[in-house]
Amino acid sequence: MSAAHQTDPEFVDAPAATTAVVFGVVAMSEVPSFFDRTFSTLPAVLATQGVAIVGPAFARYHGPPSDVADLEIGFPTDRPVQTDGDVQPGALPLGRVARLVHHGSYGELGTAWERLGAWIAGRGLTPGDDLWEVYVTEPSPDMDPADLRTELNWSVR
């Protein structure tokens, strides 16, 4: 039995947010190293430009991932970042989303996304192509994965 648990899904109005991101189209097996590269680059660029991080890290997927993920990884910021190498300005969209909060390891996020998709469909709606994870709990090497909290957001049509 998994130590993970999830809140009940709900509809919420997500606020728009200015972001600084790194875009990528990567094989699912390469996603962890893409995250590592992004998080080793992005904070330094923001610090150099004096742009403040104003919320937790996120990964926004442009369509549900399959063997390949089309995504952007970043942080909400107090103002737009200037393009610097792979770092670009971005935005999280304003709008109604289905949201579920997952408590547990990142390895169980696929199951949580499936649950959220089924919940949306069960209400006669169609999941959109815009979905993102907000990493509410910052991971550390010595933490218990059961303590991680990830907010899943999925646009609906």
> Hey, which bits of the chain come out as E strands?
5-6, 10-14, 17-27, 58-62, 68-76, 87-92, 95-103, 127-135, 149-156
| CATH number of the domain that residue 21 is part of | 3.20.80.10
pLDDT of residue 17: 96
pLDDT of residue 140: 72
The residue whose two tokens read 């970043």 is: 74
Structural tokens at position 48: 């150099």
Range of the domain at 39: 7-156
Report in angstroms the alpha-carbon separations of 149 from 29, 50, 84, 109, 145: 22, 28, 30, 10, 9
Residue 134 belongs to some domain of the structure: yes
Low-confidence ranges of the chain (pLDDT < 70): 1-6
pLDDT of residue 144: 84
pLDDT of residue 44: 96
Structural tokens at position 88: 């670009």
pLDDT of residue 66: 86
Beta bridge partners of 71: 24, 61
Report in angstroms the alpha-carbon separations of 146 from 38, 102, 150: 24, 10, 11
The residue whose two tokens read 């890290």 is: 57
pLDDT of residue 2: 44
Q: Do 135 and 150 form a contact (C-beta atoms < 8 A)? A: yes
Structural tokens at position 16: 């728009």
pLDDT of residue 131: 94
Residue 1 belongs to some domain of the structure: no
Structural tokens at position 153: 């957001």
Residue 128 belongs to some domain of the structure: yes
Residue 73 belongs to some domain of the structure: yes
Number of domains comprising the chain = 1
